[in-house]
Amino acid sequence: MALTDYVTLGHSGLRVSPFCLGAMTFGEDWGWGSSVPESETIMSRYMERGGNFIDTANVYTKGHSEKIIGDFLGRAHHKRDRAVIATKFFGNLYPGDPNGGGAGRKAIVSSCEQSLRRLQTDYIDLYWMHCWDRFTPIEETMRALDDLVAAGKVRYIGLSDTPAWKVAQAQTIARFRGWAPLVALQIEYSLLERTVEGELIPMALEMGLGVTPWSPLKSGVLSGKYTRENAATVTADRGERVTAALGEKVYTIIDELARIAKEAGATPASVALAWVQGRPGVASTIIGARRLDQLEQNLAALDITLNADQIARLDKLSKPTLSFPMQFLNVASMFSHGGATVNGEKSSIWPLAPKDAAERY
């Protein structure tokens, strides 16, 4: 696979690269991240390789991330024309202003105008709601987004970090009212965060949403940097988000990643990324890089094809405990299929079922 093996995003005609370049670390305004020259070098290399999908947000590095992208693409319009720029609203850049963020119409329209200015473009290719705003009716959010699409300021829309039931509600409202539909869902997804397989992933498949996982390496936990041997000596740039994730189960997964990486002649990070990109429903995985060498290492995952045994080993070790009713539904076929095989899924016979016709009332 290569960056130029484009995929359509969800139920849309938008073609994007299988790896999306995440720009949360563009700018050093948070005390860590990539300098402006390094950010431009990373973008340049990504696009030279054929990548076309860049993801940011209005609040990343206090708005500087969007400006860095705008300055880079604004100097060469042919680059902007072939780029798919995704950014987000919801985050508040105005302390004390209750309408400075969220998903109400006032905040959405204002955030869009500001993002367009920083990105130095007339339109946003994919506009995400960054998180669910439980204080705003979802129909208000969807209608405001539909207006932006109708005005030509936004091409496609998606939701990020929102419960499955709310995404389904939003998509259903949009379909019945003839508004611009959602085409994508951005969620955390990795070997260490698989609970999304309970409802979010099945919902995305049913509703025609392309999934774009964020933090596929769990903030670097799965990068290969952290091992049992160096646990006491290696410090994490992102602090507790990394250290809180480390534990016996995680080290077991990291050990298996290392073994598979050795088998494949790759790095643990590449194996972890290849696993995510191969999951059902995943369209384009968001990769982050603060240095050019990190970008190259992440892109190397496109050269890896995990075999069935390797996938099964990782699946077994990382198997999540899903919320009700998903765990219960895993055995539902036992008392619905009567021991038959349906759509390739075998079932056992429910022990409490009648043994023969004579036992049925």
Just list the catalytic residues.
60
The owner of tokens 């240095």 is 291
- Answer whether 139's CB lies under 8 Å from 173's CB: yes
- Answer whether 23's CB lies under 8 Å from 68's CB: yes
Q: Where are the alpha helices (DSSP H) in the chain?
A: 36-48, 64-74, 77-82, 105-119, 138-150, 164-177, 200-207, 240-243, 248-264, 268-277, 292-299, 308-318, 326-329
Phi, psi angles (nearest 5°) of residue 206? -70, -35
Contacts 24+ apart (CB under 8 A), 228-234: 228/254, 228/255
Instruction: Give the number of other Cβ atoms within 10 Å of residue 347's Cβ.
Output: 17
Cα 328 to Cα 124, 165, 203, 331, 332: the distances in Å are 42, 19, 18, 6, 7
